[in-house]
Structure 1
Amino acid sequence: MKLFVSSHGHLASGMKSSMEILYGKCDNITVFDAYVDERSVKEQLEQFFETVTEGEQVLLISDLYGSSVNQAMSMFLDRPDTTLVAGANLAFMIGLAGRDRIAREELDALINQSREMLCIVDLNRETAPETEDFF
């Protein structure tokens, strides 16, 4: 499975940096920080898809649903075995670590689990979000 992560500014490269601190080198993750230079999301995706082999699953991951980055990525959804996920966080990225493929049902479950990781930390709260042991 290959991942292409893009964001406004340096969020994408920051997530990859965090992943590499936690898991070591992540050769299956390509990142593009949009709007920090003259390169375009479309141009970078075209180069990325040149490296994808037949039968390889591709996850396109953006920072914000409906944004210009997300819209540019959506133009590539006609490619075989390609899925676009918007609104990624580090919990989502960690859930993808070490996987060769991910089924749609597993992806849906991972998205739901990642949403639960976004919460107010309240020391007076009796229970934490209902997730598997994260660490």
Structure 2
Amino acid sequence: MKLFVSSHGHLASGFQSSMEILYGRCDNLTVFDAYVDERSIKEQLEQFFKTVKDGEQVLLISDLYGSSVNQAMSLFLDRPDTILIAGANLALLIGLAGRERISREELEELIAQSREMLCIVDLEKETISDEEDFF
């Protein structure tokens, strides 16, 4: 499986930096920070798809549903075995790390789990001990 993450500004490269801290080098992760220089997302995706082998699953991941980045990525959904996900967060990328492939059902479950990571932290209601780890 290959992952292509793109965002407005440097969020995508920030995700890559975080993933490298947590997992080391992620060879299947390509990122593109849109609108920070003259490069276009379309050109970057065309280059990316040249590296995709037949039968390889591709997940395109954007920062915001309906945005210009998301819309540009949607133009590549006609490629075989390609899925577009909007609303990236680090929990989603962690869940995808190390996978060779993911089914639609597994992906839907992972997205639901990553949504749960977006929450208000209320220390009065939390019962996490000092010894517990968030991951």
TM-score bin (small chain): over 0.9
Mapped to 2, the partners of 1:22 and 1:8 lie a distance apart of 23
Mapped to 2, the partners of 1:90 and 1:7 lie a distance apart of 13
TM-score (normalizing by structure 1): 0.94
Deviations 1:47-68 (A, max 9, x none): 0000001000000000000000
Partner of 1:117: 117
Mapped to 2, the partners of 1:17 and 1:80 lie a distance apart of 29
Give runs of aligned pairs for residues 1-135 of structure 1, distance below 5 A: 1-125=1-125, 134-135=134-135
Mapped to 2, the partners of 1:55 and 1:134 lie a distance apart of 35
Deviations 1:52-108 (A, max 9, x none): 010000000000000000000000000000000000100000000110000000000
Amino acid at match of 1:85: I
**Aligned with 2:5: secondary structure?**
strand
Mapped to 1, the partners of 2:63 and 2:126 lie a distance apart of 32
**Aligned with 1:118: secondary structure?**
coil
**Aligned with 1:5: secondary structure?**
strand
TM superposition outliers: structure 1 runs of 4+ over 6 Å: none
Mapped to 2, the partners of 1:54 and 1:134 lie a distance apart of 37
Q: 1:6 to 1:122 in 2, by over 3 A?
A: same
Identity %: 84
Mapped to 2, the partners of 1:2 and 1:134 lie a distance apart of 27
Q: 1:125 to 1:17 in 2, by over 3 A?
A: same
Deviations 1:15-37 (A, max 9, x none): 01100100010010000000000
Which segments of 5 or more consecutive residues in structure 2 lack a partner in the other structure?
Answer: none
Mapped to 1, the partners of 2:119 and 2:126 lie a distance apart of 14
